[in-house]
Structure 1
């Protein structure tokens, strides 16, 4: 059983949030906890949309609440023992949760995620892949928006009260406390980079991403490229 948590400050990503959750092909019971982290967001609209789904809860916190504390709030509301962090603007294929849950079942990992992954550059319709060479192995960190972990970690530590890098700091604290981090392969997940880089926490340019990683395709249909069915 798994609890998906999404913290957002953007009403216009409502379709992505519900589609990523609703499309997941898993037999286990799942829930979605949405935290609205901006005062002028349309809580009624989100709750109305949530009413069409089973097991979806929506909360609103004051916008001065840090993203780190928003994550903690969501985890404390979670009913299930595995927590999956979904960002509002990234792509999680229908097989994403199934693949990540398999890693929990087949290893002794406390945290599962994606160290290697794809980036989609919307402004250029280009798909880029990282080249760390750290698939299907234990690692020191995974990509922030692919973070999944056992809820029992919260008995030892929580997300720090930070506006940026709270996911990275959380993983550092986990390693220091002896928790194990496992990276699955790069498929079934994509970090979507929009043209307006000011809307991203990580302000790296598309030019730099293409230089440090590898361009694998120019396409508008990146989702079919990165999706790998899981039996």
Structure 2
């Protein structure tokens, strides 16, 4: 049985030092019928950092605006029937794509991903697990980390991302009628945090409050 084509979408801008790692994680995948779709609207093109191979599609554009707009642009360019989010500064296990596809197909869900996330900060020399579960509204769908989402392109075509800089992933998950499945392959993804990352700032603020 032929594997479905998977498009890993990676919006990026001014993140040159992370790009070689993101590309390497993709090239190490054990799922081979896949493409990496890179949308770059940064000040300087990252093209010199990319290998010239058919399954890496690179688009350098004028500023596109919000992350929601960038995700929509990436999905438009994607050739695959399945979309996998691929953040430019995070770590993905070698079998991440194959696991994501299996969870999506076996669960019958519209959107899959994880809600319990491993975080690592080299600067702080800290490793911890964050609970992204939405407890404020027990009747809402599971919260999924945006960097870990997988869904069919046909679903996105009916429910594109909102034009938002923050919260576009949560709005996507909360699409009325969407079946959402939070799987348990939490060891396949690590959020790599850095000074410009809002998550690490929240972690620092939480520690500061605990220590005073």
In the superposition, the TM-score normalised over structure 2's length comes to: 0.83
Q: CA contact under 8 A between 1:2 and 1:80: conserved in structure 2? A: yes
Q: Residue 66 of structure 1 aligns with which residue?
A: 66
Q: Residue 119 of structure 1 aligns with which residue?
A: 119
Q: Residue 19 of structure 1 aligns with which residue?
A: 24
Distance 1:205 1:43, change over 3 A: closer
The offset of 1:109, in angstroms, is 0.7
Give the counterpart of 2:203 among 196, 206, 210.
Answer: 206
Give the Cα–Cα distance (whole angstroms) in 2 for the partners of residues 203 and 165 of structure 1. Answer: 17
Give the Cα–Cα distance (whole angstroms) in 2 for the partners of residues 180 and 5 of structure 1. Answer: 21
Q: Residue 184 of structure 1 aligns with which residue?
A: 183
Distance 1:133 1:70, change over 3 A: closer
1:3-82 aligned within 5 A = 3-9=7-13, 10-27=15-32, 29-38=33-42, 40-46=43-49, 49-51=50-52, 53-82=53-82
Long gaps (5+) in structure 2: 135-139
Aligned length: 198
The offset of 1:126, in angstroms, is 2.0
Q: Deviations over 1:62-119 (max 9, x none)?
A: 2252221111111011111110111110110102112111111211111111111211
The offset of 1:204, in angstroms, is 3.4
Give the Cα–Cα distance (whole angstroms) in 1 for the partners of residues 6 and 125 of structure 2. Answer: 33
Give the Cα–Cα distance (whole angstroms) in 2 for the partners of residues 80 and 126 of structure 1. Answer: 37
Distance 1:210 1:81, change over 3 A: farther
The offset of 1:180, in angstroms, is 1.1
How much is the aligned-residue C-alpha RMSD, in angstroms? 2.4
Say whether residues 1:140 and 2:142 are aligned partners: yes
Distance 1:154 1:23, change over 3 A: same
Give the Cα–Cα distance (whole angstroms) in 2 for the partners of residues 191 and 119 of structure 1. Answer: 5
Distance 1:30 1:205, change over 3 A: same
The 3-state SS of whatever aligns with 1:130 is strand
Q: Deviations over 1:140-161 (max 9, x none)?
A: 2201111111111123210111
Distance 1:89 1:132, change over 3 A: closer
The offset of 1:164, in angstroms, is 1.9
Give the Cα–Cα distance (whole angstroms) in 1 for the partners of residues 119 and 147 of structure 2. Answer: 12
In the superposition, the TM-score normalised over structure 1's length comes to: 0.77
